[in-house]
Chains A and B, each alone.
Chain A
Amino acid sequence: MIVLEKRPQPSKAWSYATPLVAVLATMVFGGILFTILGKNPIEAIGTIFWEPLFGEFAFYYRPQLLVKGAPLVLIAIGLSLGFRAGIWNIGAEGQYIMGAIFGAGAGLAFYPIDAFYVFPIMVLAGAFGGWLWASIPAFLKVRFGTNEILVSLMLVYVAEQMLASVSLGLLKNPEGFGFPGSRNLQSYDAAHNAELISGSGMHWGVVTALIAVIFAYVLLNRHMLGFHIRLTGEAPRAAKFAGVNPARLILFCLGLSGALAGLAGMFEVSGPSGVVSIDFNVGYGFTAIIVAFLGRLHPVGILLAGGLMALTYIGGEIAQSQLGLPAAAIQVFQGMLLFFLLAFDLLTNYRIRAARSEVA
């Protein structure tokens, strides 16, 4: 008989090891999945994890890592602060969309003025859009005690409809021959979030993501507010006695995560994507949840996890075109990762022991 014994302190070693174990387990079970799909598992896993970094066309894929990783890291950093305090924003996808709509809207409002202030205004507008969208569940939770999980998620569907509405109406390209979608911001210099170093994939979103990592690290380790966030998550009662204001914490965590998701959306729409269109969002807001957990809600961990998840995105696309692996298989692969992570986390908090037969 095996019993679980709660550790007095979560194991440090296991808290570092579980993400690695989870990745390995995902590779094994992902390999089994790919075998069932009739693909060579070693080749498929190799294509996903090796090809983008060291393969023949790595020079093309490596910059893509930054492009795909930046929004994931940016969103996940914001989510992790809330998750630590038990505030569950799972509507980042909606905030990402609203950030893109507000950011692109602000930029297109200035079209075709070519001035230095256009891009900064777009950045502010994008952050504002995301903040606004996340503040709805925050306000409702503070004022009425409404569940923020359900409200933030419902707002994703609302945001998707908004996106459809503006791509067909308000932001539609007047010179687009009637096709849905906005003007391409890539061809509007003042609004274009171009690569800072050509061919590197490095754009303002990547810079912002790195700043967010540092900011979150300092906040959590060196600032009273960060301490309050951690305290609320780990010992809610102690937090109450320490004078933590829960309403302020909710407004801050949700608002900040919304603003970061909004920024991610804005940098995406003004850079790699370029166009506000119906299918603009691709699920970064949901994948970022996996990134946040995989990174153990720690800023540096999230940076690494974001890179890994970006790798599965790009590697998945390569496997799709080279091996004919279905896109959904990669989605399952990413979902599995979160599963194994949560499962192996048991070892961080509990010790597994063989039970001795004892007298009851």
Chain B
Amino acid sequence: MDLGEINPVLLVASLMVAATPLLLAAIGELVVEKAGVLNLGVEGMMIVGAISGFATSVETGSPWLGFLAAAVGGAVLSLLFVLLTQVALANQVASGLALTLFGLGFSALLGQGYVGVKPPSMGEIHIPVISDIPVIGPILFQHDPILYVGIALTAAVWAVLKYTRAGLVLRAVGENHDAAHALGYKVIKIRIMAIMFGGACAGLGGAYISLIRVPQWTEGMTAGVGWIALALVVFASWKPWRALLGAYLFGGITVLQLNLQAAGVAIPVEYLAMSPYIITILVLVILSADKSSAPASLGRIFHASH
């Protein structure tokens, strides 16, 4: 065991990488839940995004096209959820589970030929001078572009929800869909757009795992990240910046336990590997006392009877 081998700068830098898939998925789900819809299919949309992104970038050689395909793949899968919950008015919990079960199988089917293949690398941004500053440079300015997209997306979602009319309408739909409907807003249409945005974000998050974080394809490789993202939305009390904070916290735990495994700490590997899940539970317990910030119409079915 040698804890001295853990380089704090690298640790923080890889923490941001580990946090990005979580952040992308959580920001998408946050918007969906703000619109009053609970989509438990995040894990399914992530894994489908992971394989569509992976396959596309291997076939075309372009990681950018890969991420685009991942977003499209996630959004297309979320349309199935739309069909079930917004058109067929099915139970959202069951539909989300269906989406995850289907997505896991579907991705395994798509990914058959891609096991053991290496995807094209995206490379890292390198800004002269700034990226070379010791400590700060490697932590903040030497990452792949998608990591910054995640942070920008967080800022954008925060600004849109807080300052724009569209954000206000979205929140109104999530708080009281009957009132929003009475005011003439298209509840279903707004929710469909939110769900598709969530699907696209989850797809990006999944592709981040298969293209940058790991980077390779294995069946079920998201390993519960989608579910942790769902927990993260609760953790964040539906606030974008707190989702960022939470994602970095969970990213930190993941990276730390991997580093401890590599450093050969006297704790068995299995116990370290289960720590992110246990900590998620602990955080949920601590934070679930306060439910006041949850959107009031969350998970309720809307059917305009007149």
A in complex with B: yes
A residues with CB within 8 A of B? 4, 6, 88, 90, 140, 144-147, 149-151, 153-158, 161-162, 164-165, 168-169, 286, 289-290, 293, 326-336, 338-339, 342-346, 349-350
A346-B88 in contact (CB<8A): yes
B271-A165 in contact (CB<8A): yes
A6-B101 in contact (CB<8A): no
Task: Please name all residues of chain B whose beta carbon is closer than 8 Å to the beta carbon of A331 when the two chains form the complex.
Answer: 101, 104-105, 108-109
B101-A286 in contact (CB<8A): yes
Which listed residue, A144, A153, A336, touches B227 by the CB 8 Å rule?
A153
| Contacts A4-B89, A147-B284, A154-B281; A289 near B101 (Cβ below 8 A) | yes
B271-A328 in contact (CB<8A): no
Which listed residue, A155, A327, A342, touches B91 by the CB 8 Å rule?
A342
Task: Please name all residues of chain B whose beta carbon is closer than 8 Å to the beta carbon of A146 when the two chains form the complex.
Answer: 281, 284-285, 288
Give the shortest distance, in Å, between A133 (CB) and chain B (any CB).
Answer: 12
B40 part of interface (Cβ distance < 8 Å): yes
Complex Cα distance, B227 from A4, in Å, reads: 33
List 28 contacting pairs A-B, 8 Å CB cutoff, sorted by A.
A4-B89, A4-B303, A144-B289, A145-B289, A146-B281, A146-B285, A146-B288, A150-B227, A150-B230, A150-B231, A154-B277, A154-B278, A157-B274, A158-B277, A161-B273, A162-B270, A162-B274, A289-B101, A329-B109, A332-B102, A332-B109, A335-B102, A335-B104, A335-B106, A338-B102, A339-B98, A342-B84, A343-B84
Give the shortest distance, in Å, between B59 (CB) and chain A (any CB).
Answer: 18
Interface size counted on chain B using CB atoms at 8 A = 46
Complex Cα distance, B224 from A328, in Å, reads: 19
| Contacts A161-B271, A338-B102, A342-B98; A149 near B40 (Cβ below 8 A) | yes
B194 part of interface (Cβ distance < 8 Å): no
Sorted nearest first, the 10 A-B pairs with minimum C-beta distance are A331-B105, A335-B102, A328-B108, A165-B270, A328-B109, A161-B274, A332-B105, A342-B90, A346-B88, A338-B98
Task: Please name all residues of chain B whose beta carbon is closer than 8 Å to the beta carbon of A339 when the two chains form the complex.
Answer: 80, 84, 98, 102
Interface SS of chain A: helix
B residues with CB within 8 A of A? 40, 80, 83-84, 88-91, 93-95, 97-98, 101-106, 108-109, 112, 219, 223-224, 227-228, 230-231, 234, 268, 270-271, 273-274, 277-278, 280-281, 284-285, 288-289, 291, 303, 305
Interface centre among A153, A289, A326 (most CB of B within 10 A): A153
| Contacts A161-B274, A169-B268, A328-B105; A144 near B285 (Cβ below 8 A) | yes
A289-B97 in contact (CB<8A): yes
Complex Cα distance, B267 from A169, in Å, reads: 13
Give the shortest distance, in Å, between B268 (CB) and chain A (any CB).
Answer: 6
